[in-house]
C-alpha cells in the first residue's frame, strides 16, 4: 500500500501505461464502495428481488473480470469495462427510481470517464450518458422536482448536465492537443539528438583510439563494477544473483560481435537471442537509450550559460532587428554550411561537407522558416550568385 501511494504521488515520473494502471485501480476502489452501498440501497429500487440479486451478482462478476485483466496487464480493456460498469450502475439506479439522487449518477459516471482523460472514450461514453441524462430528466420530471425548486428547474438540470459535458470535453481536447504538440516536439528534438549524439559517439571513439585506450566495455574495472551491481540488484528479486553474470557476459559479447551476428548464429538458443535483443538498447558503443542516458546525465553537471528569454529562439528576425546584422548573420550561416564538416562521408570518415545542391535544398525546405523570414529567404535568392562566389567552399 505504501508503494502504491508513492506511485500515485509521483505519477508525473511514470510512463503512460503505469499512470493508466494507477487510475484504473483508483476507479476500482471507488466502484467497489459504490457497489457495496448498492446492496442495501437496492431495497428502495423498483425491481423484483430476483432482478436485484442478478444485477448485483453480475456487477461482482464483472468486477472480478476487471481484476483479472489488470493481473494480466490488459489495462486498456480494463479501463473500457470500468466505464461500462459505471454506466451500468447508472442505468440500474435511474431505471429503478426517479429520485434526484439517481440523477446524480450521470455526473458520477461522467467524472469517472473524465478521470481517464481519454478523448475518444469520453466522446463515445460521455455522449451516451448525456443523451440518457437528458432523456431521463425529461421523462422523470415529477421525481426530480424538489420542494424548493423554482419554475423551469428541469431545464436548468438539463443545461447544467450539457454544460458539464461540454466544459470537460474542451478540457480533454485541449489536453490531447497539448500532448500531441509535446510528442511532436519530442520527435523533432529526438532527430536533433540523434545527429549530435552520433557525432559524440564518433569523436569519443576517435579520442579513445588516439589515446590507445581499450573500449569502456572491455575495461576490467567497469566489468567488475557492473558485475557487482547486477548481482546486488538481482538478489533483490531472486534468491541467487550469480545467474545474472551469464547475462552480463552476453552483454559484453554483444559489444564485441554485434547483435546481428548473435541473432544469425544457429548455435545460440532462442531464449538467449531474446535476452540479447532486449540488451541491445543498453549498449555503450552505439546510439542507444543507455548512451543517451549517460550523455544526458554527464551534461547535467556541465555549467551552461545563464538563462535568456531568447535562448532557444533561433529565428534570425527575433535575434536582431537590424537589417545589416541580419545580412551578416545570413552570410556567416551560409559560409559555415559551405565549409564546416557536418558528418561522415561515403568512406565513413568525418569529412563530409554540404554540397551546393544540399545547401540549396536546405534553404528551400519547410524547416528553414524556423530560422529565416520569407523576406530574408528572398534576399538570399536575389543575391544567390554573390553567396556562391564569395562564401561557398573553394574546390
What would the grid cell of residue 374 be? 520569407
Average pLDDT, integer, range 203-224: 87
For the whole model, what pTM was predicted? 0.55
For the stretch 37-55, pLDDT in tens is 888 888 888 888 888 889 8
Place 143 in a pLDDT band, splitting at 50, 70 and 90.
Answer: low
Count, residues in the chain: 395
CA distance to 20, 81, 143, per residue, from 109 (Å): 17, 12, 20
Percentage of the chain exceeding pLDDT 90: 16
Domain ranges, ordered by start, for the chain: 2-182, 214-290, 316-391
Give pLDDT, residue 219: 87
Place 125 in a pLDDT band, splitting at 50, 70 and 90.
Answer: very high
**Is there a contact between 341 and 350 (Cβ–Cβ < 8 Å)?**
yes
Give pLDDT, residue 166: 93
Question: Is pLDDT of 84 > 90?
Answer: yes
Average pLDDT, integer, range 73-85: 91
- Mean pLDDT over each residue of the chain, to the nearest integer: 84
d(CA 181, CA 188): 10
End-to-end CA separation in angstroms for the chain: 70
Question: Is pLDDT of 309 > 80?
Answer: no
Place 11 in a pLDDT band, splitting at 50, 70 and 90.
Answer: low
Place 347 in a pLDDT band, splitting at 50, 70 and 90.
Answer: confident
For the stretch 89-103, pLDDT in tens is 998 888 887 777 788
**Is there a contact between 103 and 136 (Cβ–Cβ < 8 Å)?**
yes
What would the grid cell of residue 207 be? 579520442
273 Cβ contact list (under 8 Å, min separation 6): 262, 263
DSSP-assigned beta bridge partners for residue 226: none
Place 204 in a pLDDT band, splitting at 50, 70 and 90.
Answer: confident
User: Within 117-152, where are the H helices?
Assistant: 119-121, 127-139, 141-144
Question: Is pLDDT of 371 > 80?
Answer: yes
Among candidate residues 216, 221, 280, 230, the one with its CA nearest the CA of residue 251: 280
d(CA 326, CA 316): 7
**Is there a contact between 100 and 143 (Cβ–Cβ < 8 Å)?**
yes
Give pLDDT, residue 62: 92
Give pLDDT, residue 6: 60
Amino acid at each position: 500500500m505504501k508503494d502504491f501511494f508513492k506511485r500515485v504521488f509521483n505519477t508525473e515520473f511514470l510512463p503512460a501505461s503505469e499512470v493508466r494502471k494507477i487510475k484504473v485501480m483508483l476507479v476500482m476502489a471507488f466502484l467497489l464502495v459504490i457497489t457495496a452501498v448498492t446492496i442495501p440501497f437496492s431495497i428502495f429500487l423498483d425491481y423484483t428481488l430476483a432482478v436485484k440479486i442478478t444485477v448485483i451478482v453480475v456487477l461482482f462478476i464483472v468486477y472480478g473480470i476487471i481484476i483479472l485483466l489488470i493481473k494480466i496487464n490488459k489495462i486498456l480493456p480494463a479501463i473500457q469495462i470500468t466505464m461500462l460498469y459505471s454506466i451500468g450502475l447508472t442505468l440500474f439506479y435511474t431505471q429503478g427510481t426517479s429520485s434526484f439522487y439517481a440523477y446524480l449518477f450521470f455526473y458520477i459516471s461522467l467524472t469517472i470517464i473524465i478521470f481517464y482523460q481519454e478523448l475518444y472514450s469520453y466522446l463515445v461514453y460521455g455522449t451516451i450518458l448525456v443523451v440518457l441524462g437528458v432523456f431521463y430528466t425529461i421523462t422523470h420530471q415529477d421525481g426530480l422536482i424538489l420542494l424548493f425548486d423554482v419554475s423551469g428547474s428541469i431545464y436548468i438540470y438539463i443545461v447544467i448536465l450539457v454544460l458539464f459535458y461540454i466544459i470537460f470535453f474542451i478540457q480533454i481536447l485541449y489536453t490531447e492537443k497539448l500532448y500531441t504538440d509535446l510528442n511532436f516536439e519530442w520527435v523533432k528534438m529526438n532527430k536533433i539528438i540523434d545527429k549530435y549524439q552520433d557525432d559524440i559517439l564518433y569523436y569519443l571513439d576517435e579520442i579513445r583510439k588516439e589515446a590507445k585506450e581499450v573500449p569502456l566495455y572491455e575495461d576490467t574495472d567497469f566489468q567488475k563494477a557492473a558485475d557487482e551491481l547486477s548481482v546486488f540488484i538481482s538478489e533483490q528479486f531472486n534468491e541467487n544473483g550469480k545467474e545474472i553474470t551469464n547475462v552480463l557476459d552476453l552483454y559484453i559479447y554483444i559489444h564485441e560481435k554485434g547483435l546481428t551476428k548473435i541473432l544469425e548464429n544457429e548455435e545460440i538458443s532462442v531464449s538467449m537471442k531474446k535476452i540479447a535483443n532486449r540488451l541491445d538498447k543498453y549498449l555503450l558503443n552505439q546510439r542507444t537509450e543507455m548512451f543517451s542516458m549517460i550523455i544526458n546525465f554527464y551534461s547535467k553537471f556541465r555549467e551552461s550559460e545563464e538563462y535568456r528569454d531568447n535562448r532557444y529562439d533561433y529565428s534570425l528576425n527575433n535575434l536582431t532587428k537590424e537589417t545589416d546584422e541580419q545580412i551578416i548573420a545570413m552570410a556567416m550561416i551560409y559560409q559555415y554550411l559551405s565549409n564546416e564538416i557536418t558528418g561522415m562521408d561515403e568512406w565513413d570518415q568525418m569529412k563530409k561537407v554540404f554540397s551546393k545542391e544540399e545547401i540549396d535544398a536546405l534553404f528551400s525546405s519547410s524547416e528553414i522558416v524556423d530560422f529565416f523570414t520569407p523576406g530574408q529567404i528572398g534576399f538570399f535568392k536575389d543575391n544567390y550568385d554573390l553567396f556562391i562566389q564569395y562564401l561557398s567552399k573553394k574546390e
